[in-house]
């Protein structure tokens, strides 16, 4: 007998639309974000942008300190201001591709009375642009963005479990990144589905 999987937590970027089999840093979105961080670093500090950005990426991986927080600390400005500056004018039409499959799957799951959550490490300013462009906001019971958790998605998963009363083992995390979507969920005894493009979501419709 299959375990019940009625409560789904979706990642956004690279999961509900295609990164074309590349990591975030090499995706169209990742390139746009990186270039904007280069601009901020070059305008407001004496650091060489590319080398300092690489340093921040390594620190994010080793110490779990987000790049936006590092930049905010370096420049003595609010993190929200950094996020707005970097993300506010990225055009979703240029980076959000191949999402019709996920759009249809979300609609079908919603019509089957499944409870859907969205948890993204992107700030709300970008997430809003993306879900409005994809026309998927109505399918989600709750959405958590970067501003809603401090460290990792494990914190977001815990918030969802506690606020909804759903045990961890009845939640499934669906995402394209092992280090942020899958491993933290497994550490909480959640179920997981690792995807590399939207077509990998199709098996969700066969779950009991």
- pLDDT for residue 22: 59
pLDDT tens digits, one per residue of 146-190: 888 877 899 999 999 999 999 999 999 999 989 889 999 999 999
Structure tokens at 126: 């970008």
Count of positions (residues) in the chain = 208
Pairing of strands 142-144, 191-194: unpaired
- pLDDT for residue 197: 84
Looking up tokens 């999987």 gives: 5
Residue 1 pLDDT exceeds 50: no
Coil, strand, or helix at residue 55? helix
Four-residue CA torsion sign, 162, 164, 167, 173: negative
pLDDT tens digits, one per residue of 115-152: 999 999 889 999 999 999 999 999 999 999 988 887 78
Give the pTM: 0.84
Residue 21 pLDDT exceeds 60: no
Q: Please give the mean pLDDT across all residues of the chain.
A: 88
Q: Can you spell out the DSSP letters for 150-194?
A: SS-HHHHHHHHHHHHT--GGGEEEEES-IIIIIHHHHHTT-EEEE
């Amino acid at each position: 007998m299959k375990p019940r999987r009625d409560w789904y937590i979706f990642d956004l970027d690279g999961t509900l639309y295609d990164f074309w089999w590349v990591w975030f840093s090499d995706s169209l979105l990742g390139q746009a974000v990186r270039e904007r961080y280069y601009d901020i670093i070059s305008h407001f500090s004496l650091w060489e942008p590319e080398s300092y950005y690489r340093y921040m990426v390594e620190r994010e991986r080793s110490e779990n300190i987000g790049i936006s927080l590092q930049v905010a600390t370096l420049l003595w400005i609010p993190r929200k201001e950094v996020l707005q500056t970097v993300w506010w004018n990225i055009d979703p039409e240029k980076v959000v591709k191949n999402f019709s499959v996920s759009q249809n799957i979300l609609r079908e799951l919603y019509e089957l009375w499944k409870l859907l959550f969205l948890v993204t490490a992107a700030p709300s300013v970008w997430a809003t642009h993306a879900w409005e462009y994809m026309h998927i906001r109505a399918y989600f019971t709750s959405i958590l963005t970067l501003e809603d958790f401090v460290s990792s998605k494990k914190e977001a998963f815990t918030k969802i479990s506690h606020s909804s009363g759903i045990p961890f083992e009845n939640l499934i995390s669906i995402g394209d990144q092992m280090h942020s979507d899958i491993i933290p969920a497994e550490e909480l005894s959640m179920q997981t589905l690792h995807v590399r493009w939207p077509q990998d979501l199709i098996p969700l419709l066969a779950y009991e």
